[in-house]
């Protein structure tokens, strides 16, 4: 089944403890992206990647890192999480990042709580 | 400034009644337009998209949307709502000059369906 898989689904952590949220897609998509969803703010883009070893900042990249060493994986790294990073996170992928495409495929989300 | 507006935070509709969810955008040129649905605890699923051509677009689950250039709107409609349609709906735009690198989401409209 074609899908985007995020892990974990739920995570509670303490301020300052490094964490990684994994994202993997099995569709050979070139483009991957991370979003955070907060009440009243919708989804905001954190980082995106057009292809392996190509990443760029979205609208809210502060406090986050990403890497794209393999086409299928796009982990989101919080080096020193803070309570304002408590949010629902979504990974998404798309066949390409170009102007002719078919929309995103989203993962099921990771609910992160930083205390 | 470029933006996507969903003016209704919540909408309640009786089962069997018609539905219209509003979406307005502010961009220099007509962007790519999308509607996504997020069921509770799930990721986002693409309902429909508009790239060009016929301004009335048919999607999955009986939804349709109409692009109106003069009003910069892309409203989502359904003739008869089912209880399973209760979810959060997001309008999204992809500026043509940046493709899907910068897919921007509205803040969402939560649909409640009453018996």
Q: pLDDT value at position A2?
A: 81
CB–CB of A43 and B101 under 8 A?
Answer: no
The 10s digit of each residue's pLDDT in A73-83 is: 999 999 999 99
Which of B21, B46, B101, B104 is the best mutation test for A, with the most CBs of A within 10 A? B101
How crowded is residue B109: how many other Cβ atoms within 10 Å of its Cβ?
20
Minimal CA separation from A79 to chain B, in Å: 24
Does the pLDDT value for residue B100 go beyond 60? no
Q: What is the mean pLDDT of residues A43-72?
A: 94
CA atoms within 13 A on the CB side of B23: 28
- Evaluated on CA atoms B21, B13, A44, B61, the torsion sign reads negative
Q: A23-57: per-residue pLDDT in tens? A: 999 999 999 999 999 988 889 999 999 899 999 99
Which of B44, B51, B96 is the closest to A106 by Cβ?
B44
Q: What is the pLDDT of residues B4-19, one digit of tens each?
A: 999 999 999 999 999 9
Instruction: Kindly state whether A2 is in contact with chain B, defined as any CB-CB distance less than 8 angstroms.
Output: no
């Amino acid at each position: 089944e074609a899908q985007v898989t995020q892990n974990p689904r739920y995570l509670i952590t303490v301020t300052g403890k490094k964490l990684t949220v994994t994202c993997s897609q099995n569709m050979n998509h070139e483009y991957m992206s991370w979003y955070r969803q907060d009440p009243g703010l919708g989804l905001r883009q954190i980082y995106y990647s057009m292809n392996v070893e190509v990443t760029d900042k979205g609208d809210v990249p502060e406090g986050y890192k990403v890497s794209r060493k393999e086409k299928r994986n796009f982990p989101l790294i919080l080096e020193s999480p803070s309570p304002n990073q408590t949010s629902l996170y979504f990974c998404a992928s798309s066949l390409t990042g170009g102007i002719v495409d078919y929309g995103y495929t989203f993962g099921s989300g990771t609910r992160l709580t930083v205390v | 400034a470029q933006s996507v507006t969903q003016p209704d935070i919540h909408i309640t509709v009786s089962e069997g009644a018609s539905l219209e969810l509003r979406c307005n955008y502010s961009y220099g040129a007509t962007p790519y337009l999308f509607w996504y649905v997020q069921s509770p605890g799930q990721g986002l699923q693409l309902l429909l998209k508009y790239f060009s051509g016929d301004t009335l677009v048919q999607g999955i689950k009986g939804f349709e949307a109409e692009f109106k250039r003069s009003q910069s709107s892309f409203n989502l409609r359904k003739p008869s709502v089912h209880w399973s349609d209760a979810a959060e709906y997001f309008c999204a735009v992809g500026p043509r000059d940046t493709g899907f690198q910068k897919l921007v989401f509205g803040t969402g409209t939560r649909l409640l369906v009453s018996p």
